[in-house]
Amino acid sequence: MSELIELKDKTLIDMLLEEQRQVQTPMGRFAEAAEEAAAEQASRFGDLIPLSAPRAGEQYAFQVDLDRCSGCKGCVTACHSLNGLDENETWRDIGMLVGEGERGPALQTVTTACHHCVEPACMIGCPVDAYEKDEVSGIVLHLDDQCIGCQYCVLKCPYDVPKFSPKRGIVRKCDMCHSRLSSGEAPACVQACPHEAIKIVTVEKEEAVARSQDPDSFLPDSPEPGYTKPTTRYVSKKGLPKNMVAGDSHVLRVQHTHWPLVGLLALSQLGVGGFVSAALDLGSLQGNLGFASFLGAWLVFHLGLVCSALHLGQPLKAWRVFLGFRRSWLSREAVILGACSGVSCVAIGAVAAGWFGYLDEFPWLESLQIGAVFATALLGLVGVFTSVYIYVDTRRSFWKLPYSLSKFYGSVALGACAFYMLAAGGASLAMASAFVGLVVLKLVVEAKSFGDNRSSQGLMESVLNPLWKARLSIAALSCVAAMAATRYEGVVLGSIVLLLVCLGELAERALYFKAVNAPKMPGGLNG
């Protein structure tokens, strides 16, 4: 009776809509199947991600079961697809270790991504604070909208994790698919691995720091873990032979030249040398050649600064570079060289005023001139020191402190000699001899830096040998020109010496970048 009353209350439209809802359309069946698959997937991957957020003193980390990794690159493909990476951009790579154990030759494939370190070198080195370590999850996140594309994090990270995107002008990296993880979904690489070799675990930060003090706690032939305290765990019941090396350890790779940085370092340091020369011989600034020499140093220095802007992927955001001053050597370099530039403009104005004869009319200009020239030279020398530590702080043997310090301040000394000859309109025998001695000493240091590293030595003896020979030839010509300047006065030979010094230092600085040994995780199957 109640059913009849209910039917009576319904209109024809209501009954048709109810009938339609009960019909299984293809789209309806697809939706039901998708819901069932999602539920099954959640159940399947529940053991591969933590069920709760990290507690205080803990963070998320990758755990890789080496016994299960087959090197199939399923994780690489999934990461690339889900994150919409560029054609040649990868956030997860597959590498290979080879060696020999008790049972004969051994081979181990390895999947690697960002290790979300306890002390991330990329974050510490960033001059614009474009990285942050999430307080809850411990994931190291890159803030794309803050990045200026300086690529210093690429040099700082020993694991080759941050990747520069030329199309976007910024660096990008693995973020452990944190948006999926926060929603209870497994990261792309975890879901895609057919052998479930990758999982997300919760680790104690203090334990990760303690483990990093033991080099054997990480993978063989990998960067020293004590630098950044990586949290990734590589586990294996079978164990790995201690003598294993990266499958591509024998491959010699010419590194990126970074031509704008070559120009910045070589030219700015030669310009600083000119500032030092002027500070040591203030009397020469009143003469035509002295003023021209100081103006030339100012131009060379600022040409180097212009080169630095060409290196940035997002140059319009460069004004933010001061944000990382407390911990980033790159930020310190930018701020101090920027201050040097400002003071040098005051100095060039004061010197120009003196050259035009205004010192008698405005006596205070002499004090301003002296103070500005000395301040310019001092700020320049401090700026060169920050440049040294930008590269020393990456902990690459080819860039270690004795070599970088000698090369960078050697450029300053050669610049000082060259600009002094230009200001003097020639060179005394003592000055020319000092110049030749500096050139020879610097070449010895450069040759020694190659010999201290197998990779750098191999590159210098093979693909970089023509550039090295060109460097030697230019250095020899500069010495000949300097000795000739002792007999023939005038600006021509002084200008030739300066030009040859510039070319020689540019060649040396190109080798400085090309021949560096770049640390990375074990490779051999990347691509």
In the chain, list all ranges with CATH 1.20.1630.10: 259-514
Give how far Cα 185 sits from Cα of 38, 45, 112, Å: 10, 8, 20
Residues 358-362 have a mean pLDDT of 70
In the chain, list all ranges with CATH 3.30.70.20: 58-246
Does residue 505 register a pLDDT over 50? Answer: yes
Per residue in 288-321, pLDDT (tens digit) is 898 999 999 999 999 999 999 999 999 999 999 9
Measure the CA angle with vertex 526, ends 525 and 527; round to 5°: 120
pTM: 0.88
Confidence of residue 488 (pLDDT cuts 50, 70, 90): confident
Confidence of residue 243 (pLDDT cuts 50, 70, 90): confident
Confidence of residue 11 (pLDDT cuts 50, 70, 90): confident
The larger pLDDT score, comparing residue 284 to residue 189, is at 189
Residues 244-268 have a mean pLDDT of 93
Per residue in 190-241, pLDDT (tens digit) is 999 999 999 999 999 999 999 998 878 889 889 999 999 999 999 998 888 8
- Give residue 30's pLDDT: 57
Contact criterion met (CB below 8 Å) for 395 and 159: no
- Report the distance separating Cα 170 and Cα 275, nearest Å: 35
Tokens (6 digits) for 247: 């499958």
Q: Residue 371, CB half-sphere, CA atoms under 13 Å: how many? A: 6
- Give residue 527's pLDDT: 38
Measure the CA angle with vertex 476, ends 473 and 482; round to 5°: 140
- Report the distance separating Cα 92 and Cα 246, nearest Å: 17
The larger pLDDT score, comparing residue 116 to residue 2, is at 116
Does residue 7 register a pLDDT over 60? Answer: no
Per the CATH hierarchy, to which homologous superfamily does domain 259-514 belong? Formate dehydrogenase/DMSO reductase domain (1.20.1630.10)
Give how far Cα 400 sits from Cα of 224, 288, 404, 416, 463, Å: 15, 41, 6, 24, 23
Percent of the chain with pLDDT over 70: 91
CATH architecture for the domain at 58-246 = 2-Layer Sandwich (3.30)
Does residue 325 register a pLDDT over 70? Answer: yes
Burial class from Cβ neighbours inside 10 Å (0-12, 13-18, 19+) for residue 300 reads buried
The larger pLDDT score, comparing residue 287 to residue 336, is at 336
Nearest to 98 by CA among 224, 235, 249, 253: 249
Least confident piece of the model among 32-41, 84-93, 192-201, 373-382: 32-41
Does residue 327 register a pLDDT over 80? Answer: yes
- Report the distance separating Cα 96 and Cα 105, nearest Å: 13
> In the block, which residue shows the tokens 């910024």?
170
